[in-house]
Structure 1
Amino acid sequence: MTTGTKRKVLVLLGPTAVGKTRLSLELAEAFGAEIISGDSMQVYRGMDIGTAKISEGEMKGIPHHLIDIHDPGDAYSTAEFQEQGTRLIEEISRRGKLPFIVGGTGLYIESLCYGFRFSEAVADEAFRSEQDAYAEEHGAEALHARLAAVDPVSAERLHPNDRRRIIRALEIHYQTGVPLSEDLAGQTKESPYELCLIGLTMDRKKLYKRIEERIDQMLAEGLVAEVQGLLERGYGRSLVSMQGLGYKEIAAYLEGETTLEEAVVLLKRDTRRFAKRQLSWFRHMKEIQWIDTLESPDHSETFAIIEHRIAQTFAKSE
């Protein structure tokens, strides 16, 4: 799977609930691919329902990588994802298979596709403790506002509850004087790979309806029990994993801070906002070939269009 010295890499990205999983399996079968998950939450074991994680039975025998590789108590970073993804692309290519990145975590996917270098700002525990204390006293929104004041682009991308990444962005600005977003924007956009990036999209109202239906399905499948089990095993709400969509809202309900109805309303609202942020992130990736999954009522026609685009893109590089 090489072109000169460059490895071919297929990428399927898009917002939550747009339909990536089904298409990824069909494309993997058609192109002889192994899937690398580009999702920051599916790395965690025991967090299945709330992350819409594919089950082993649904994988159709297609190898999936970077799923269930950490306990919820472990931290997982963009740099670690990039390192593991880079290794997997090489290993999969050497097996004669096509590396296929599928997911919705924009920074993860972009860092791997373009070989981003990461800030040399070192961990400053005193600074981090100070920001943590500020968040505890004044709330997540206040800490998020601090970031918005010095790096509005990163603040727009990060949810106010994503404390670890907000503090890291503040730390980078504090040490270097350069906003994280500016550093990322200045990175080279020449990929070390022969990329084919396919983006899935659909009418915003229809996407939001699918998001709400998915959340209802998660609740029916036992999301509340999943979160309860995590809390009972000692995975506290301050963990990065437990700040994920679906987990923080249900945990607040389970600890008596809100009703289940209120938690679900909040979860649906926050997930809609998350999808909007995902689309905003992907829109600046100029090489993406966008496909409206609802443009054709026939799924097989949509698949055929995508299959043709991929074949054309890789043929041009040969």
Structure 2
Amino acid sequence: MMMTTRLMQPLMCKQKLPLLHIPSSGGIDLQILQRRPEKGKVVVVLGATGAGKSRLSIDLATRFTAEVVNSDKMQVYQGMDIVTNKITEEERNHVPHHLLGVIEPTKNFTATNFCSMASRTINSISGRGNLPVIAGGSNSFIEALVDDCRFKTMYDVMFLWVDVAMPVLHAFVSERVDRMVEQGMIEEARKMFDPKNADYSRGLRKAIGVGEFHRYFRAEPTANADTRARLLGEAIDAVKINTCQLACRQLEKIQRLRNVKGWKLHRVDATEVFRRRASGVAGDDAEELWENLVAEPSATIVTRFLHDFGPLIYADVTSIRPAVMGRAMVAATH
């Protein structure tokens, strides 16, 4: 069902309520939908690299009238789509994406730059009556935006944290690097190689998967086959190690945002989905598991947030089954 819209104050963006996602359990009191938010609404999807942030953002965008704003500091650059693991056109499922591949590779892109561009983008999305969904692993960018005073006055923010147990995520990340190599990661990284410049501290050259291949590329023209194979193996292993270390740092930052800064995060545990995939569970079964444990509970939480169904439940979202959440929403209306 579509919701009617109303103009917000002059300094506020126009934002209509997205299509209401009704859980499979049903049972929502429609009278509660007469309420309107005083601020615009923004959903932020957090998580370590590889945890499924992009996928969840797409799932939400297909349930609600939403557009995705990228907050990954490497994916904002043009090029290196495999190295930076950008979401493909097919994976986007026709959902509009912003701040993805828009910055020249040699330029530095700071948190200040992100806040400026993201704010304008979010205002534009809200002005079209759509829901902005921010997704990406650069938590420092998200923190800078959320802490911005003007942003605070204009938007209410809800946080979804897609979490995966680190040992399980590390195994997945290692396999993902192998797939990236098969897809052409080394050829992409070679384009950034400069034998006279080993500075990997600026622009897109900071991305994991670029500097790790420097020694291999330098030795490649003159080294024998055994040496090349060894250096290549070491480079790929370094990419895996550095990616896993990045995931650990991201998790530490998320925990700091929750425990020190007091951000109210809805944790969605996707560990079992990844574990079952690794054990060879059939594709359809794995998809159903993701739907039941991650997508549907997250959509229920977003529905509560968008339509003010009583106090939000800040807990392990996946421990609350959709049917239970549906009953909780009904109870919140009485």
Task: Give the TM-score of the pair, scaled to structure 1.
Answer: 0.72
Secondary structure in structure 1 of the residue aligned to 2:126: helix
Q: Which residue of 2 aligns with 1:277?
A: 249
Q: 1:116 to 1:79 in 2, by over 3 A?
A: farther
Q: Deviation at 1:203?
A: 1.4
Residue 227 of structure 2 is matched in structure 1 by: none
Alpha-carbon separation, structure 1, partners of 2:272 and 2:307: 26
Q: For residues 249 and 233 of structure 1, do their structure 2 counterparts lie closer, same or farther at Cα, with a shift above 3 Å needed?
A: closer
Q: Give SS of 2:193's match.
A: helix
Q: CA deviation at 1:192?
A: 4.3
Letter in 1 for 2:64: F
- Give the structure 2 partner of residue 144 of structure 1: none
Question: 1:20 is matched by which residue type in structure 2?
Answer: K
Other structure's SS at 1:284 match: helix
Alpha-carbon separation, structure 2, partners of 1:110 and 1:251: 33
Contact kept? 1:73, 1:235, Cα under 8 Å = no
The equivalent residue for 2:240 is 268
- 2:45 is matched with 12
Deviation per CA, 1:90-117: give whole Å up to 9, x if none. 1100101001101110011111122179
Q: Does the alignment pair 1:306 with 2:298?
A: yes
Deviation at 1:252, TM superposition (A): 3.3
The 5 A counterparts of 1:1-318 are 1=15, 4-115=37-148, 192-231=154-193, 237-238=199-200, 239-256=202-219, 259-285=231-257, 286-295=263-272, 298-302=289-293, 303-316=295-308
For 2:256, the aligned partner's letter is: H
Q: Give the equivalent residue in structure 2 for 1:141.
A: none
CA contact (8 A) 2:195 2:218 kept: no
CA offset digits 1:202-250 (Å, max 9, x no partner) = 1111000011011111111111100112337999643332121111112
Letter in 1 for 2:290: H
| Rg comparison, structure with higher value | 2
1:201/1:291 contact within 8 Å kept = yes
Question: What is the distance in 2 between the residues matched to 1:4 and 1:59?
Answer: 29
Q: Tell me if the contact between 2:168 and 2:271 (Cα under 8 Å) persists in the aligned partners.
A: no
User: Aligned partners of 1:261, 1:105: CA distance in 2, in Å?
Assistant: 28
Give the letter aligned to residue 306 of structure 2.
F
In the alignment, structure 1 segments of 5+ residues that lack a partner are 118-188
Displacement of 1:70 in angstroms is: 1.3
Distance 2:186 2:254 in 1: 31
- 1:185-204 deviations in Å (ceiling 9; x for gaps): xxxx9674211110011111
Query: Cα offset for 1:63?
Result: 0.8
SS of 2:62 mapped into structure 1: helix
User: Residue 106 of structure 1 contacts residue 281 of structure 1 at CA under 8 Å; is this kept in 2?
Assistant: yes
Aligned Cα RMSD in Å? 2.5
When residues 81 and 259 of structure 1 are mapped into structure 2, their CA distance, relative to the original with a 3 A threshold, is same
What is the deviation of 1:79? 0.3
Is the 1:113–1:193 Cα contact (8 Å) retained in structure 2? no
Offset from partner CA, 1:241-262 (integer Å, 9 cap, x none): 2121111112332123970111
2: distance between equivalents of 1:315 and 1:256?
60
1:167 maps to: none
Measure how far apart 1:280 and its partner are: 0.6
Rounded Cα–Cα distance in structure 1 between residues aligned with 2:37 and 2:197: 47
**Cα deviation digits, residues 120-174 of structure 1 (max 9, x gap):** xxxxxxxxxxxxxxxxxxxxxxxxxxxxxxxxxxxxxxxxxxxxxxxxxxxxxxx
> What is the DSSP-based 3-state SS (H/G/I as helix, E as strand, rest coil) of the residue aligned with 1:194?
strand
Cα distance change of structure 1 residues 270 and 6 upon mapping to structure 2, 3 Å threshold:
same
The whole-number CA distance in structure 1 between the counterparts of 2:120 and 2:141 is 14
Question: Which AA in structure 1 matches 2:82?
Answer: I
Give the letter for the 1:202 counterpart: V
Partner Cα separation in structure 2 for residue 194 and residue 226 of structure 1: 40
- Provide the secondary structure at the position in 1 that maps to 2:159: strand
> Residues 224 and 237 from structure 1, CA distance in 2 versus in 1: closer, same or farther, beyond 3 angstroms?
farther
Cα distance, 1:304–1:255 mapped onto 2, change above 3 Å:
same
CA apart distance, 1:10: 0.8
* CA pair 32-235 structure 1, distance change in 2 beyond 3 A: farther
